């Protein structure tokens, strides 16, 4: 008798595969455990790729959508939860130190922040995408950026917002809904104010 005691025929679907000595028999075919594991890994990878394609096909967030919640840990160690900012207007800017277009809007974003900061009802958050802490800190110092910034650990935040690159900016109204977004750099302080000021009207 061979080391395989039972062979499952195509019609005997109720009989589980037999595994002995690192091999299995499925529908009359002897298959190594290694091959089974390899196919399992391939199928898992295909499932992840399919999920990514479906996510990308959904496109960016749309005006009026309730924005995904997230928690940002800043470079200074402060933890900020977006849901706790409900009732305020929130500007979320995705950037990176290696992103040259990001530099085009850095000064205007900081100027806008300094304009709104005394009010207390507008919050700016910078989300650093695929970067190193050292380079990110150098970028913040170079442009004298003072509003809260932190790394997008595991790119979880950018995935939730279905970003396609940097810079991208999302402006959230007092009810936590997307009021405006910009997928290219802002051109001026006036442009930023034109999107935020209407959200502050009574």
Residues 82 and 34 both lie in one domain: no
Average pLDDT over residues 42-54: 57
Q: What is the pLDDT of residue 28?
A: 55
> Looking at the structure, do residues 12 and 81 belong to the same domain, yes or no?
no
Domain-located, residue 21: yes
Secondary structure element (H or E) that encloses residue 122, with its range: strand 122-128
Query: Do 38 and 83 have their domain in common?
Result: no
Same domain? 26 vs 87: no
**Pair (39, 95) in one structural domain:** no
What's the Cα-to-Cα distance from 105 to each of 58, 111, 164, 196, 198, rounded to whole Å?
27, 10, 18, 16, 21
The mean-pLDDT minimum among 32-36, 48-52, 162-166 falls in 48-52
* Together in a domain, 81 and 19: no
Mean pLDDT for the stretch of residues 192-196: 98
Domain assignment of residue 127, yes or no = yes
State which of 16, 31, 58 marks the end of a domain.
58
Q: How many domains does the chain have?
A: 2
Residues 6+ apart with CB under 8 A from 44: none
Of the candidates 58, 84, 99, which is a domain's last residue?
Answer: 58
User: For residue 121, how many other CB atoms are within 10 A of its CB?
Assistant: 12
120 has a pLDDT exceeding 50: yes
Same domain for 106 and 150? yes
Q: Which residues are paired to 65 by β-bridges?
A: none
Domain assignment present for residue 66? The answer is no
Question: Do residue 99 and residue 35 come from a single domain?
Answer: no
Q: Model confidence over 84-113: pLDDT tens digits?
A: 999 999 999 999 999 999 999 999 999 999
pLDDT category of residue 30 using cuts at 50, 70 and 90? low
Examine the domain organization and report whether 97 and 133 are in the same domain. Answer: yes
- Pairing type for strands 89-95 and 122-128 reads parallel
H or E element at residue 125: strand 122-128
Q: What is the percentage of the chain residues whose pLDDT exceeds 70?
A: 75
Q: Which domain holds residue 184?
A: 71-200
Contact by Cβ (8 Å): 180, 92: no
What's the confidence (pLDDT) of residue 37?
Answer: 77
CATH assignment at residue 125: 3.40.30.10
State mean pLDDT over 26-32: 57
Region 136-163: mean pLDDT is 97
Over residues 28-49, the mean pLDDT reads 67
Query: pLDDT band at 155, cuts 50/70/90?
Result: very high
177: pLDDT confidence band, cut at 50, 70 and 90? very high
pLDDT bracket for residue 64 (50, 70, 90): very high
């Amino acid at each position: 008798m061979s080391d395989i005691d039972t062979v499952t025929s195509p019609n005997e679907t109720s009989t589980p595969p037999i595994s002995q000595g690192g091999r299995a028999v499925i529908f009359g075919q002897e298959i190594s455990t290694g091959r089974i594991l390899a196919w399992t890994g391939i199928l898992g990878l295909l499932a992840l790729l399919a999920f990514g394609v479906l996510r990308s096909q959904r496109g960016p967030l749309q005006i009026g959508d309730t924005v995904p919640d997230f928690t940002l840990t800043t470079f200074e160690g402060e933890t900020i939860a977006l849901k706790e900012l409900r009732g305020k207007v929130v500007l979320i800017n995705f950037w990176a130190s290696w992103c040259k277009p990001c530099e085009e809007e850095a000064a205007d974003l900081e100027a806008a922040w300094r304009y709104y900061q005394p009010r207390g009802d507008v919050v700016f958050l910078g989300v650093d995408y695929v970067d190193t802490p050292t380079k990110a800190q150098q970028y913040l110092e170079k442009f004298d950026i003072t509003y809260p910034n932190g790394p997008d650990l595991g790119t979880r935040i950018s995935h939730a917002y279905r970003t396609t690159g940097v810079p991208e900016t999302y402006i959230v109204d007092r009810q936590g809904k997307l009021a405006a977004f910009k997928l290219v750099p802002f051109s001026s302080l006036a442009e930023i104010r034109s999107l935020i000021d209407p959200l502050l009207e009574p």
